[in-house]
Amino acid sequence: MKIKFLSESTINKIAAGEVIERPASVIKELVENAIDAGASKIDIILEQAGKNLIIIADDGLGMSPEELEIAIQRHTTSKLDETDLLNINSFGFRGEALPSIAAISKLLITSKTKESDKAFQIQLIGGNPTPVKPTTHNRGTKIEVRDLFFATPARLKFLKSDNAELAACVDCVKKIALAHPNIAFNLSNNGKNIIKVKQAQHNVQEQASKQRITEIMSEAFIENAAMINLQHDILAITGYTSIPTNNKATASEQFLFVNNRPIKDKILNTALRIAYQDYLARDRHPIVVIFMQIDPQFVDVNVHPAKSEVRFQDPNLVRSLLVNAIRDALFTVSNQTSTTIADAAIDLFTTPLPDKKVVRQQNPRNYHVFDYDSIYRNMNAPTQLLQSKLLTTSPQALVSTEAESNNDNIDYPLGAAKTQLHDTYIIAQTQNSIIIVDQHAADERLGYERIKQSLNNNGLIKQRLLIPEIVELASEILAEQFFAHQETLAELGLTVEKFGERSIIVSEIPSLVGDIDIKKLIFDLAEHINETGTQSNLTELIEHITETYACHYAIRAGRKLSITEMNELLRQMEKTPFSGQCNHGRPTYIELKLKDIEKLFGRR
């Protein structure tokens, strides 16, 4: 086949494939255009999750008839200074969104400027425009996108179910709304409102942002999160990051923004993992809303047509600052445990579980409900449920130790120890709550922090190998990158020397790591250094050994404690950072507010 020029229609369809992947892509591009146009209110209306219809209406600057004709052409924009391509302060700048959308849909644009007494409209079907004509419309722009991908049926087949596509649209609007509290957003699908947030009333940006985050994420997130505020010469980091015990099984609720642009960035995701690696299990993820404001000269947003990726001029500095910002924020709430855990505990008493089996007794009006474990409960009486739980507790656990306790400690954050249940759980009382402590998890954390402090004060003790280990890496580049971190590795207890072009000699390892596969450690570490430029693999390994040590010597579940010992454990928890969760991210204690307990018994 001979080389030939592609038709304009084919070029537009190919370009559309890079920018427009699904209905959510259309929403992102058009809503960002509305923001660039100075909108204070944006309405997003969908039918069939955007497959049939997407309407984006704003009250921004609007466009004149001449601008309408130009805007639908490829590579036309009002937002880019061609003399300074790195100084990008708008969301759009490529001039590809409108023509890309028009090439694969039926597009209708209606717009009116403040200066004009008329509105104007232009229609495109599969990228082919009709003449601009006058119409009626309020100030701003309304764009209607019908039958998305009708011009590229093959692409239409790759769309997922309506629920999946709608979820992507909601996620897109959430991200944009989080970053712009000064704009009102309304999102509906098939006539049903999904997101409706008003323009923030606060003049202070911090308060406006907090209000919007509360509306989008919930008040519970703010209550169980630490506020981030770090200022640097070229970078400011603000937002909220969840306390370790408020976590998720997936990273779906991690919202990262660079200059208010929602992004997915490997460097920032790595920073999140490093910041939490000491407090969360490997398969759990924090909830974050983090905004990074950086001089446009130090970040390149022109990496991908979708503009969801960025490239930092100094990625190591950005990663380091983000890790420090998160850790500093977490330290301010280091003794706090998530209130959502207590809420879930209360719900266990009040929310009926799914019925498993119904047994009719001799009295036909009397039904008892059993679960698969044959535990009796009454569906409508919380007090009977509490009694049934207590009846399964051993008599020894119910013996009062009040004579052994006193109220001297009741004003402390974790209160005064009252008794111990099942030789595992400490029950303490504060002025307005009941505290339940898992003694093993709590002491495990205390021991872990003591070991870390010892390591920080005295450094790592090295263990010299009787026979040095020679490790051959896959390439000279990997060996060079690895050896470039020789001094840092030595501080972490690993003494290495270069041997030939691709080999590393290991002569000393940290004594804490014990008997390990040195070759595997070096391979993993070299790959990690190549990928991130950090030594987190080694530190994670050391932390794992430290956690195991702490766990082994912690107070075991099943050990009877005196009231004095219980109170001493509570006081140590109050003085120890991050004592609210064990080394694996699970809570060490639960606080049940007295007002919530009174509700169970109908006293409120």
| Cα end-to-end distance, the chain, whole Å | 82
d(CA 178, CA 73): 31
pLDDT band at 150 (very low <50, low <70, confident <90, very high): confident
Segment 287-316 shows an average pLDDT of 83
Mean pLDDT of 77-86: 54
- How does the average pLDDT of the chain come out, rounded? 81
DSSP three-state, residue 586 = coil
Kindly report which listed range (173-177, 273-277, 284-288, 564-568) carries the lowest average pLDDT score. Answer: 273-277
Token representation of residue 128: 């082919």
CB atoms closer than 10 angstroms to residue 67:
17
Top-level class of domain 218-331? alpha beta
Does 390 score more than 70 pLDDT?
A: no
Mean pLDDT throughout 24-33?
Answer: 93
User: What's the pTM value of the predicted model, to 2 decimals?
Assistant: 0.70
* CATH 3.30.565.10 for the 8-197 domain, yes or no: yes
What share of the chain has pLDDT > 70, as a percent?
77
> 6 CB contacts (<8 Å, ≥6 apart)?
14
Confidence band (pLDDT; 50, 70, 90) for 235? very high
Query: Which pLDDT does position 335 carry in this prediction?
Result: 78
Per-residue pLDDT at 361: 41
Residue 258, pLDDT above cutoff 60: yes
> Each residue of 515-571: pLDDT tens digit?
667 888 788 778 777 766 555 555 655 665 566 556 655 676 778 999 999 999 999
* Cα separation, 538 vs 489, whole angstroms: 9
Q: Which of 162-176, 462-476, 589-603 has the highest mean pLDDT?
A: 162-176
Phi, psi dihedral angles at 335 (to 5 degrees): -100, 5
For range 13-38, the mean pLDDT: 83
Q: Are 564 and 413 in contact (CB under 8 A)?
A: no
Does the pLDDT at position 584 exceed 90? no
Least confident interval from 6-10, 40-44, 58-62: 6-10
Instruction: Provide the pLDDT for residue 472.
Output: 92
HSE of 424, CA atoms in CB hemisphere, 13 A:
6
In the predicted structure, residue 179 carries a pLDDT above the cut 60:
yes
Residue 329, pLDDT above cutoff 60: yes
Query: Residue 194: what pLDDT?
Result: 96
Helix spans in 72-200 (H) = 97-103, 153-156, 162-179
pLDDT the model gives residue 97: 80
User: Per-residue pLDDT tens for 82-111?
Assistant: 455 555 556 655 567 888 888 889 999 999
204-226 confidence digits (pLDDT tens): 888 999 999 999 999 999 999 99
The backbone region for 318, taken as left when phi is positive above 0, alpha when psi lies in -120 to 50, beta otherwise, is: alpha
Quick check: 413 and 430 in contact, CB under 8 A?
A: yes
Domain residue ranges of the chain, discontinuous segments joined by +: 8-197, 218-331
**Residue 587 DSSP SS3:** strand
